[in-house]
Amino acid sequence: MENRVALIGIVVNNENSVEPLNKILHDYKDFIVGRMGIPYRNRGVNIISVVIDAPNDQISALTGRIGMIDGVTAKALYSKV
Domains of the chain: 3-78 (3.30.70.1150)
pLDDT at 81 over 80: no
User: What is the mean predicted confidence (pLDDT) over 66-70?
Assistant: 96
* Res 48: pLDDT: 97
pLDDT band at 69 (very low <50, low <70, confident <90, very high): very high
Rounded-to-integer distance, Cα 66 and Cα 47, Å: 13
Percent of the chain with pLDDT over 70: 99
pLDDT band at 1 (very low <50, low <70, confident <90, very high): confident
C-alpha distance from residue 4 to each of 13, 36, 50 (Å):
28, 19, 13
- Residues 64 and 10 sit within 8 Å (Cβ to Cβ): no
